[in-house]
């Protein structure tokens, strides 16, 4: 079941976790939401108290994408887990709304305009630099004007694709940039609050766990309702076959770095793997497809324009917000039903895969 806003989603998550006797934690984020209510990352732990193996399901790293991830977490807590006997030594760690500000305001990025999946830099990487083409395209990607209904974004982008080459654009647009704080795909200039919370608590939540499977739930990439796994690993030759054998769903794709649409830095997955160096840590970004890439990009761009250059009572502001919401949580009840069912099935397959 999809929630109508972040607060309803968080409330449902907490209540469902409590009724399963999960250990529940709340980690506040210092930023006010639209109703000046508190925002938080909430964490529920279920199963073994001293697990050998932990399945992590995290949601909402990209704010507005949290509607889907939260609905899958809620269905896991209310439908799957009550009927399932967890294997001995296995625990589930559910992390709700890694970017609660973006979820609450229907933004992809956080309270500092940071795209969190570009913020988790590894030791030695610096919060500086942008692809050269991004700097050249900045006026086009991030116009300093309110969004307009008639915008030839897609046509212009195709023209740039002809000019620069599609491969170059794919390596430019979504990979992350660290120089344009009001721009899209901005990775920040320091570790974001969510990263600090994970750095302090993930080792405690995982305890002596030796094996981790982390599925980070997203939307907006791939075909309508279809799940795509983007597997991040230092040793893809070992992990890709395991993912391919463990997970099955209609149309499901498992892609390694090579097959991915783009390679970005600051991904949460490799950062978690580096933090938990002693663990055998398998990580995948799980994307549920909505619309094709260009309309999704168009929505991300329009919402960013609205956030910076429009007023919140203007019709174009509302329109841009609704574009981004529809791009990540389509109103279609068939889409919603399908992704939640797929998400629960994948969680069941993950638990079965960890048992082996």
**Does residue 118 touch Zn ion according to CB under 5 A?**
no
- Backbone phi and psi for residue 195, each to the nearest 5 degrees, phi listed first: -65, -40
Among the residue ranges 63-71, 74-82, 97-105, 251-259, the one whose residues contact Zn ion (CB under 5 A): 63-71
Rounded to whole angstroms, what are the CA distances from 217 to 26, 71, 279, 309? 20, 11, 21, 30
In the complex with Zn ion, which residue's Cβ is closer, 16 or 97? Answer: 97
Supply 50's token pair: 């001293």
Q: CA–CA separation, 13 vs 74, rounded Å? A: 6
**Does residue 62 touch Zn ion according to CB under 5 A?**
yes
Among the residue ranges 18-26, 85-93, 214-222, 258-266, the one whose residues contact Zn ion (CB under 5 A): 214-222
Q: How far is the CB of 285 from Zn ion (least distance, A)?
A: 7
Among the residue ranges 35-43, 65-73, 205-213, 229-237, the one whose residues contact Zn ion (CB under 5 A): 65-73
**Does residue 282 touch Zn ion according to CB under 5 A?**
no
For helices 333-355 and 66-75, angle between their N-to-C axes, nearest 10 degrees: 60
Neighbours of 152 (CB within 10 A): 10
In the complex with Zn ion, which residue's Cβ is closer, 209 or 285? Answer: 285
Q: How far is the CB of 218 from Zn ion (least distance, A)?
A: 3
Q: CA–CA separation, 96 vs 99, rounded Å? A: 9
In the complex with Zn ion, which residue's Cβ is closer, 218 or 336? Answer: 218
**DSSP helix/strand/coil, 203:** helix
Among the residue ranges 45-53, 59-67, 184-192, 343-351, the one whose residues contact Zn ion (CB under 5 A): 59-67
Q: How far is the CB of 216 from Zn ion (least distance, A)?
A: 8
The DSSP line for 97-164 is -SSHHHHHHT-SS-TTS--GGGT-PPTT--S----HHHHHHHHHHS-SS---SS--HHHHHHHHHHHH
In the complex with Zn ion, which residue's Cβ is closer, 264 or 345? Answer: 264
In the complex with Zn ion, which residue's Cβ is closer, 65 or 267? Answer: 65
Supply 190's token pair: 């320091």
Rounded to whole angstroms, what are the CA distances from 338 to 210, 253, 319, 341? 33, 16, 26, 5
Among the residue ranges 27-35, 56-64, 179-187, 333-341, the one whose residues contact Zn ion (CB under 5 A): 56-64
Among 126, 118, 124, CA closest to 268? 118
Ramachandran sector of residue 113 (left: φ over 0; alpha: ψ -120 to 50; beta: rest): left
Among 249, 211, 175, CA closest to 87? 211
Number of residues that bind Zn ion (CB under 5 A): 3
**Does residue 218 touch Zn ion according to CB under 5 A?**
yes
Q: How far is the CB of 30 from Zn ion (least distance, A)?
A: 23
Among the residue ranges 79-87, 169-177, 215-223, 240-248, the one whose residues contact Zn ion (CB under 5 A): 215-223
Q: How far is the CB of 140 from Zn ion (least distance, A)?
A: 22
Rounded to whole angstroms, what are the CA distances from 22 to 13, 31, 132, 256, 263? 11, 27, 48, 33, 36
Q: How far is the CB of 327 from Zn ion (least distance, A)?
A: 11
In the complex with Zn ion, which residue's Cβ is closer, 46 or 185? Answer: 185
Q: How far is the CB of 226 from Zn ion (least distance, A)?
A: 15
Q: How far is the CB of 17 from Zn ion (least distance, A)?
A: 23
In the complex with Zn ion, which residue's Cβ is closer, 42 or 65? Answer: 65
In the complex with Zn ion, which residue's Cβ is closer, 218 or 232? Answer: 218
Q: How far is the CB of 311 from Zn ion (least distance, A)?
A: 27
Q: CA–CA separation, 241 vs 244, rounded Å? A: 5
**Residues contributing to the site for Zn ion (CB under 5 A):** 62, 65, 218
């Amino acid at each position: 079941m999809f929630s109508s806003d972040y607060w309803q989603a968080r409330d449902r998550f907490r209540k469902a976790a409590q009724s399963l006797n999960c250990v529940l934690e709340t980690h506040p984020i210092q930023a006010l939401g639209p109703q000046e209510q508190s925002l938080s990352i909430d964490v529920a732990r279920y199963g073994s108290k001293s697990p050998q193996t932990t399945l992590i399901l995290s949601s909402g790293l990209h704010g507005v994408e949290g509607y889907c991830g939260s609905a899958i977490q809620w269905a896991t807590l209310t439908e799957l887990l009550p009927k399932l006997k967890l294997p001995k030594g296995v625990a589930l760690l559910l992390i709700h709304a890694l970017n609660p500000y973006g979820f609450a305001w229907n933004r992809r990025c956080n309270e500092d305009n940071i795209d969190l999946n570009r913020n988790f830099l590894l030791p030695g990487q610096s919060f500086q630099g942008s692809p050269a083409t991004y700097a050249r395209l900045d006026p086009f990607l991030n116009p300093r004007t309110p969004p307009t209904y008639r915008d030839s974004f897609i046509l212009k982008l195709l023209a740039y694709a002809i000019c620069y080459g599609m491969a170059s654009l794919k390596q430019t647009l979504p990979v992350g940039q660290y120089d344009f704080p009001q721009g899209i795909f901005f990775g920040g200039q320091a570790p974001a609050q969510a990263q600090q919370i994970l750095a302090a608590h993930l080792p405690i939540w995982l305890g002596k766990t030796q094996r981790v499977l982390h599925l980070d739930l997203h939307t907006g990439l791939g075909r309508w309702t279809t799940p795509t796994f983007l597997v991040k690993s230092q040793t893809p030759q070992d992990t890709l076959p395991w993912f391919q054998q463990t997970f099955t769903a209609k149309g499901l794709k498992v892609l390694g770095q090579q097959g991915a649409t783009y390679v970005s830095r600051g991904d949460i997955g490799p950062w978690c793997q580096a933090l938990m160096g002693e663990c055998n840590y398998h990580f995948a970004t799980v994307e549920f497809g909505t619309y094709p890439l260009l309309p999704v990009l168009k929505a991300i761009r329009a919402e960013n324009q609205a956030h910076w250059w429009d007023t919140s009572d203007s019709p174009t502001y509302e329109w841009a917000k609704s574009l981004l919401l529809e791009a990540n949580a389509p109103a279609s009840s068939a889409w919603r039903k399908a992704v939640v069912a797929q998400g629960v099935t994948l969680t069941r397959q993950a638990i079965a895969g960890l048992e082996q």
